[in-house]
Amino acid sequence: MNIAVIGTGYVGLVTGVALSEIGHTVTCIDVDPKKIAKLNQGIPTIYEPGLSEMMLNNQQRGRLHFTDQHRVGLADADVVYLAVGTPQRADGSADLQYIEQAALDVAGHIRRSAIIVIKSTVPVGTNLRIKQLMLDHLHPGVTIRIASNPEFLREGSAIHDTFHGDRIIIGTEDKDTASVLESMNKPFGIPVIKTDIASSEMIKYASNAFLATKISFINEIANLCEKLGANVEEVAKGMGLDHRIGSSFLRAGIGYGGSCFPKDTNALVQLAGNHHHDFNLLKSVIEVNNHQRRLLIEKMLGRFGSLTGKKVAVLGLAFKPNTDDLRESPALVLIPELARLGAEIVCYDPIAADQGTKWINVSAQYTENVADALKDADCALIITDWPDIKRMDPKTYGRLMRQAIVFDGRNCYSIPQARAARMEYYSIGRPDVVPEISK
Ligand SMILES: NC(=O)c1ccc[n+]([C@@H]2O[C@H](COP(=O)([O-])OP(=O)(O)OC[C@H]3O[C@@H](n4cnc5c(N)ncnc54)[C@H](O)[C@@H]3O)[C@@H](O)[C@H]2O)c1
Ligand SMILES: O=c1ccn([C@@H]2O[C@H](COP(=O)(O)OP(=O)(O)O[C@H]3O[C@H](CO)[C@@H](O)[C@H](O)[C@H]3O)[C@@H](O)[C@H]2O)c(=O)[nH]1
């Protein structure tokens, strides 16, 4: 099939590449000419494991194209995916200006009838509003059908998730559209759930809100564990073995970040409020997350009294490992707060350091490796559980730092490991490790 994908961000680019990989002819369109120029040179504009090879391979086979010209990209399209951003507005609701503009761009340029698939995460009711908006601007004789097809990929494992997802949700008004999209997606071999448009839109928000709830729940249990002398990892393991609970998304830490959970939980609270429903549970999930982000600063102040002049090695900037994405990363809250408290900041991130220099507007030094960041530091603060940080011998801290004092927001090391390395170790929901010598 001939497919056009509007937007070449994390979702649009991965979707376009994956659809070309299963044999479709895909043209990805973006309004950012710099992105398109880079993509046309075979260079991905985001970091995602496995993306680069797959993209280049399909470009060379002539199945994957990039353009900033809607007229060119839409010329042969049978199906058009809208995969542009739906960021958060100041009041927490979803900002739909980009998807509305993308819909108008398509309506203005498309000259043949097509199925419009909305992949962006949008509040319930948006698909039908977008359809009406497009109908008002289509060329005479052109017809469209609309489908909701929310995306569930995770950053850092986007290619894997696209080929091994748990389900593909297709929300449509008519059976024919659903059948076309189902057969188009068949090569993925993933179960397809066909439903109505409103339910499809809601499945996306409900899924993200539920996962965020699991994280805030375990973080609250973690905070209680600290007070009661329990270890949250033992607790999560014991809980997760109950298949009704499941072990995933029970990793306690400094809270969820990223481009989705924070914005989608806020958008669902807003959507509920617009319909006179006070979503108290979700409001608490958000509040717990906001508090969780600051926990380690409180622990640092408790340990040092003041951070003025203390050299802090910040390990990891991205909101999770294997991505260069800093959107809503706890680093964006913690690093400015450290600067405000007078700390000297040295940051390390294997992939997201460049983004750090763009997004974090406080004075900080960036290093190429962990060792340079740790050298002569008064303490380390782990924000992202990158594999090279997790796999590092914990004794390294003592070898390089003034004193091996580590505040770990991702529970990278076990308590016995920390004890054996003679670190002073503060983590989340587990007992503090304070060697005799530090007391
Ligand atoms: N990032 C994720 O992991 C993820 C996962 C599932 C769902 N989603 C949802 O998917 C949507 C896209 O998210 P993203 O992270 O890929 O966004 P992104 O910000 O990474 O990318 C959006 C892209 O759209 C382009 N764009 C904006 N307006 C355009 C227009 N009129 N025509 C063509 N291109 C245009 C931008 O230049 C940008 O390249 C959002 O609704 C998001 O909530 C994201
Ligand atoms: O047990 C856990 C699991 C995750 N996290 C944090 O939660 C955030 C989100 O992680 P993850 O869900 O792995 O990454 P995302 O790429 O944000 O993916 C989520 O958001 C996407 C956008 O909507 C959805 O498509 C995915 O299904 C959904 O998992 C990160 O900060 C993680 O560190 C925890 O703190 N504890």
Q: How far is the CA of 96 from the centre of ligand 1 (A)?
A: 11
Q: How far is the CA of 259 from the centre of ligand 2 (A)?
A: 9
Q: Read off the tokens for 353.
A: 């350091």
Q: How far is the CA of 288 from the centre of ligand 2 (A)?
A: 16
Residue nearest to atom 35 of ligand 1 (CA): 7
Contact 317, 381 (CB under 8 A): no
Q: Which of the following is catalytic: 28, 260, 347, 379? A: 260
**Nearest ligand 1 atom, CA 45:** 39
**In a 10 Å sphere around its CB, with 0-12 CB exposed, 13-18 middle and 19+ buried, how is residue 395 labelled?**
middle
pLDDT digits (tens, 9 = 90+) for 216-270: 999 999 999 999 999 999 999 999 999 999 999 999 999 999 999 999 999 999 9
Residue 140 has pLDDT above 80, yes or no: yes
Identify the nearest ligand to the CA of 232 by its number.
2
DSSP reduced 3-state for 22: coil
Identify the nearest ligand to the CA of 6 by its number.
1
Residue 271 has pLDDT above 80, yes or no: yes
**Nearest ligand 1 atom, CA 155:** 3
- Taking the C-alpha atoms of residue 427 and residue 252, their distance in angstroms, rounded to an integer, is 10
Identify the nearest ligand to the CA of 328 by its number.
2
Q: How far is the CA of 119 from the centre of ligand 1 (A)?
A: 9
Residue 428 has pLDDT above 80, yes or no: yes
ipTM of predicted assembly, 2 dp:
0.98
List the beta bridge partners of residue 346. Answer: 313, 365
Average pLDDT of the segment spanning 132-147 = 97
Average pLDDT of the segment spanning 328-337 = 96
Strands 168-172 and 79-82: unpaired
Residue 135 has pLDDT above 80, yes or no: yes
Residue nearest to atom 15 of ligand 1 (CA): 10
Q: How far is the CA of 90 from the centre of ligand 1 (A)?
A: 18
pTM of the model: 0.96
Residue 436: what pLDDT?
80
Q: How far is the CA of 202 from the centre of ligand 2 (A)?
A: 18
- Taking the C-alpha atoms of residue 98 and residue 42, their distance in angstroms, rounded to an integer, is 26
- Taking the C-alpha atoms of residue 235 and residue 213, their distance in angstroms, rounded to an integer, is 17
Q: How far is the CA of 8 from the centre of ligand 1 (A)?
A: 7
- Taking the C-alpha atoms of residue 135 and residue 149, their distance in angstroms, rounded to an integer, is 20
Residue nearest to atom 44 of ligand 1 (CA): 11
Residue 408: what pLDDT?
98
DSSP labels, 61-129: TT-EEEES-HHHHHTT-SEEEE-----B-TTSSB--HHHHHHHHHHHHH--S-EEEEE-S---TTHHHH
Structural domains in the chain?
2-195 (3.40.50.720), 203-291 (1.10.1040.10), 294-438 (3.40.50.720)
Residue 260 annotated to the active site: yes
Give the binding-site residues of ligand 1, using a 6 Å CB cut-off: 6-12, 29-32, 35, 83-86, 98, 101-102, 105, 120-121, 151, 153, 155, 259-260
Q: To the nearest whole number, what is the mean pLDDT of the chain?
A: 97
- Taking the C-alpha atoms of residue 218 and residue 231, their distance in angstroms, rounded to an integer, is 12
Average pLDDT of the segment spanning 206-213 = 98
- Taking the C-alpha atoms of residue 104 and residue 110, their distance in angstroms, rounded to an integer, is 10
Residue nearest to atom 19 of ligand 2 (CA): 154
Residue nearest to atom 17 of ligand 1 (CA): 85
- Taking the C-alpha atoms of residue 230 and residue 214, their distance in angstroms, rounded to an integer, is 19
pLDDT digits (tens, 9 = 90+) for 81-95: 999 999 999 999 999
Our mutation pick for probing the ligand 1 site, out of 5, 10, 166, 167, counting the most ligand atoms within 8 A of Cβ, is 10
Residue nearest to atom 33 of ligand 1 (CA): 30
- Taking the C-alpha atoms of residue 341 and residue 345, their distance in angstroms, rounded to an integer, is 11
* Confidence class for position 4, pLDDT limits 50, 70, 90: very high
Q: How far is the CA of 84 from the centre of ligand 2 (A)?
A: 19
Residue 438 has pLDDT above 70, yes or no: no
Give the binding-site residues of ligand 2, using a 6 Å CB cut-off: 121, 151-155, 208, 211, 215, 249-251, 253, 256-258, 260-261, 319-320
Residue nearest to atom 29 of ligand 2 (CA): 154
* Confidence class for position 439, pLDDT limits 50, 70, 90: low
- Taking the C-alpha atoms of residue 238 and residue 203, their distance in angstroms, rounded to an integer, is 29
Residue nearest to atom 30 of ligand 2 (CA): 256
- Taking the C-alpha atoms of residue 271 and residue 274, their distance in angstroms, rounded to an integer, is 5
- Taking the C-alpha atoms of residue 18 and residue 165, their distance in angstroms, rounded to an integer, is 12
